[in-house]
Structure 1
Amino acid sequence: MNPYDFHSWYPRGTRRAIAAGANHFVATVDDTTVLKYPVAPQEAANLYLPDAQRFRRSILRRLGKHPRIIQLKGKHEDGLLLEYLPNGSVERYLVANPRTSVKQRLVWGRQAAEGLAYIHTKNVIHGDVSVGNLLLDPHLSIKFCDFQGKFLNADGTVALDDGSSERSMSSMPRSDHNNHDHKTDIFALGTALFVIVTGNLPFPDLDTLDEDEIQRRFEEHEFPPLEKLPGGDVIRNCWTGSYNSASEIIVDLQKLEKTVE
């Protein structure tokens, strides 16, 4: 099989494909479960995606059951059995519902911070915090998915590392982009918060491929206007590295929520 020539396929027990990414499909198994599986059958998957499924399974097992984390529901020879969240991602929801209230947007921001704070207490680095990886449960509450980063031993040494897949407008300026930690996750959360609040990326005049200019603006603190934006100070503090933990973000967003009807 040509590793670059992929066609839809359906593993045992799946009903219909409902989503696809660069290297995976998602198909329903039943009304509460989906299977996330490689774009190529298992015998060919290792040609281009070694150990990725095993890595994500290990992280989800470490995180366990939590209201802000997508639930791992069992084993399957071809991928990950996950809870089905039919409301999709925050990214897609905002496109379909651009008039979502400020209150709801701030609730999502606080919930995202709650999820990230919990993830970090488990010595896990997400590595790809974005609105596309924040899913919505039936109550429109946030759950993190698609972990890309690493998890650490109790002494801080790396147990497993799957790299970082941050988008250019979510990437904290640094010399080594393979070096990701709590701070890079918090920076990316700042961009996610900006998108949640505004519905737009930080620099609409730039293409996401304009990485050098994006990084220059972030490095020199040439941020989009934040002064009149709900949560603007929180976003700025994420981008400037002022927060030491996601727990601090929760506190600030809880205060802000109380001021919005």
Structure 2
Amino acid sequence: MATIARTITRGLRQPAGCELLEFGSTGAVFAFLNDPKTVAKLPFEADEYIARLNQEKCILTRLRADEDDGHPHVVRCVRMEEDDRGGRIILERATHGALRVYFHKEEGRQATMAERVRWCHQVASAVVYMHSKGVVQGDLGGRNILLREDRTVCLCDFAGSGIDGIRPEVWAQSGFRHPMEELQGTVQGELHALGSTIYEIVTSTCPHWEEEKAEVDKGWGEGKADELMRSGKYPYITGILLGDVIAKCWAGEFTTSQSVLEAIDQEVF
């Protein structure tokens, strides 16, 4: 019997021939049972989520405008499909999934420092490209960085991101977002998140993760990392690879993502 689409939640329908991979804040990502190389991203069927997916379509179109495959470290968009339910985006599927999830696996914990530095460089180069196209991702971090089979990484999830001066509707998570609220959704705020992202890649953990988890376990919710950073208390980074780059990102000493990329090059290459 042929598989039929079925409703999952909030009006979201599972496409025929697919299985659910994960939910996100805008919708869900599905894997094709007969195609291991692509996934489908669909929005929850409400106007605000459909609008976010449409924004992502605009951003992906912008990011792949220069050449067929776009930037090598931005997730590849295979095609976009339209229908009366908000349509869907077909994207490349990264074998190892999100880098943050990968770090919780045994093989992820064994990633070499050479690989981690390379991933930092690849992420920074993708951010440079993205900013050159007028895009601010808004939620940089390991949950939005995918690891491919060839062990290169790519940025993903531009639903709710900002473009052409319009600030993102999404914010970076606690420990990544800038401690000054007025800088959320700006390039300066993104550079702070880039510092936290480099920290996560190098150490396999998020800034102030233990303190954050303790608060969540008590039922008090997220925000402890933000609270510590607002008071000037950042993680100890002495002796950490790329620690100087991380510190300068957090301190606001970089004004462009290009300068972060160049600093990575100067420190390790």
**Partner residue, 1:127:** 138
1:232 aligned partner, one-letter code: G
1:115 maps onto 2:121 in alignment: no
Equivalent of residue 200 in structure 1, options 205, 215, 229: 205
Q: Residues 49, 172 of structure 1: CA spacing in aligned structure 2 closer, same or farther, 3 A cutoff?
A: same
- Measure, in 1, the Cα distance between the counterparts of 2:119 and 2:192: 17
**Partner residue, 2:5:** none
**Partner residue, 2:246:** 235
TM-score by structure 2 length? 0.82
1:173 maps onto 2:179 in alignment: yes
**Higher relative contact order, chain-length normalized (CA < 8 Å, sep 6+):** 1
Q: Residues 233, 183 of structure 1: CA spacing in aligned structure 2 closer, same or farther, 3 A cutoff?
A: same
- Measure, in 2, the Cα distance between the counterparts of 1:71 and 1:226: 34
**Partner residue, 2:59:** 59
- The total of aligned residue pairs comes to 241
**Partner residue, 2:163:** 151
- Name the Cα RMSD after superposition: 2.2
**Partner residue, 1:72:** 77
- Measure, in 2, the Cα distance between the counterparts of 1:215 and 1:138: 34
Identical residues among aligned pairs (%): 22
Structure 2: unaligned runs, 5 residues or longer: 1-7, 65-69
- Measure, in 1, the Cα distance between the counterparts of 2:26 and 2:170: 15
Moved more, 17-26 or 96-105: 17-26
Equivalent of residue 149 in structure 2, options 123, 131, 138: 138
1:28 maps onto 2:31 in alignment: yes
Cα offset, 1:5, TM superposition: 5.0
**Partner residue, 2:235:** 224
1:57 aligned partner, one-letter code: K
- Measure, in 1, the Cα distance between the counterparts of 2:222 and 2:60: 33
Cα offset, 1:37, TM superposition: 0.9
Q: Residues 63, 193 of structure 1: CA spacing in aligned structure 2 closer, same or farther, 3 A cutoff?
A: same
2:250 aligned partner, one-letter code: W
8 Å CA contact 1:110, 1:249 repeated in 2: no
Deviations 1:148-197 (A, max 9, x none): 32111xxxxx3x554123101111012347x4111111111111111111
Cα offset, 1:95, TM superposition: 1.2
Instruction: Summarize the alignment of residues 181-200 of structure 1 with structure 2, pairs less than 5 Å apart.
Output: 181-200=186-205
Q: Residues 79, 161 of structure 1: CA spacing in aligned structure 2 closer, same or farther, 3 A cutoff?
A: farther
- Measure, in 2, the Cα distance between the counterparts of 1:129 and 1:241: 16
**Partner residue, 2:13:** 9
Deviations 1:191-242 (A, max 9, x none): 111111111222122336352x533432343211111111111111111111
